[in-house]
Amino acid sequence: MATADFLTQLFGLDGQTAVVIGGAGELGFALSKGLAQAGAHVVVADMNLEACQKRVAQLEEIGGKASAAEVNITSRASLEALLAEALKVTGRVDMLVNCAGINAGNPFLEVDPNLWDKIFAVNLKGMMEACQVFIAEMLKAGKGSILNIGSVTSHLPLSRVFAYAASKAGVVNLTKNIAQEFGDKGIRCNAICPGFFPAEQNKKLLDQQRVDNIMRGTPMRRYGKPEELVATAILLLSANAGSYITGAAFNVDGGFTCSWF
């Protein structure tokens, strides 16, 4: 078998549909682009339809198949409408990527409980509901794959991002619970825990002291580039390449966590 055929058989996603929630964001778009390049139809789903449409145009420019959908992950009705939209456009849902997330930085004693709730509503409860809505559909097909985006803070306490870190710890736990519950039903669920990939939402949290600490703690001494998440995402999502991987929390972090575990 030719090398290209071998790799396509393992990692190719032709004819499959991936829904990426948070797909208009920096990491979500990099993942959308990678999945489209691997052959999937990508439903770019995010809060702002116009932002999704711009992302879809970018994917179509490079020959990708994609469509845009507005979603608010904190609304069950909105998630159900997203599933209906994906089914209307492509007739199937093979993969779900949960990449919506929000963050805020405060000293612990100043953490506003309402802000805590807001962060949990998006990062964890919304993710859980998205998994419920899409797994119900995947069970009908007897197959499906979910990728949840955690963080190095899923495992480690970083300063001033308490609600975020606690919610991301929950992401890994949720991922493992889903993997356990649906492992014998054809549905796999994995997480990627990215290190530091400065996007708009965390640039405002990065003062010089924090940057110095991050670089000291990152053996590769640099930030990640969003496209460096793509290969891991395809490995975990692909029914062929990732066929025996479920419940994994895969660190893509320039080595940040390697000295801790």
Ligand X SMILES: NC(=O)c1ccc[n+]([C@@H]2O[C@H](COP(=O)([O-])OP(=O)(O)OC[C@H]3O[C@@H](n4cnc5c(N)ncnc54)[C@H](O)[C@@H]3O)[C@@H](O)[C@H]2O)c1
Closest distance of CB 240 from ligand X, Å: 26
Closest distance of CB 115 from ligand X, Å: 14
DSSP string, 185-227: GTEEEEEEEE-----HHHHTT--HHHHHHHHHH-TT-SPPPGG
| Catalytic residue status for 164 | yes
The residue among 6 and 260 lying less far from ligand X, judged by its C-beta, is: 260
Closest distance of CB 108 from ligand X, Å: 19
Rounded to an integer, what distance in angstroms lies between the CA atom of residue 90 and that of residue 14?
Answer: 12
The residue among 199 and 239 lying less far from ligand X, judged by its C-beta, is: 199
Return the residue of 196, 230, 237, 246 that touches ligand X, per CB under 6 A: 196
The residue among 56 and 149 lying less far from ligand X, judged by its C-beta, is: 149
Rounded to an integer, what distance in angstroms lies between the CA atom of residue 247 and that of residue 177?
Answer: 8
Q: Hey, which bits of the chain come out as E strands?
A: 17-21, 41-46, 65-70, 95-98, 144-149, 187-194, 249-252
Closest distance of CB 123 from ligand X, Å: 6
Both structure tokens of 2: 């030719």
The residue among 26 and 137 lying less far from ligand X, judged by its C-beta, is: 26
Site for ligand X in 10-49 (CB under 6 A): 21-22, 24-28, 46-47
Rounded to an integer, what distance in angstroms lies between the CA atom of residue 202 and that of residue 184?
Answer: 38
**149 contributes a contact to ligand X by CB under 6 A:** yes
Residues 66-105 as x/- pattern, contact with ligand X by CB under 6 A: -----xxxx------------------------xxxx---
Closest distance of CB 171 from ligand X, Å: 8
- Kindly tell me the burial class for residue 136, based on how many C-beta atoms sit within 10 Å of its own C-beta (0-12, 13-18, 19 or more): exposed
The residue among 21 and 179 lying less far from ligand X, judged by its C-beta, is: 21
The active-site residue, picked from 29, 134, 162, 164, is 164
C-alpha separations of 153 from 145, 182, 208 in Å: 23, 26, 19
Contact 74, 122 (CB under 8 A): yes
C-alpha separations of 226 from 63, 69, 99 in Å: 20, 22, 12
Supply the residues annotated as catalytic. 164
Q: Which residues are near ligand X by CB under 6 A? A: 21-22, 24-28, 46-47, 71-74, 99-102, 122, 126, 149, 151, 194, 196-202
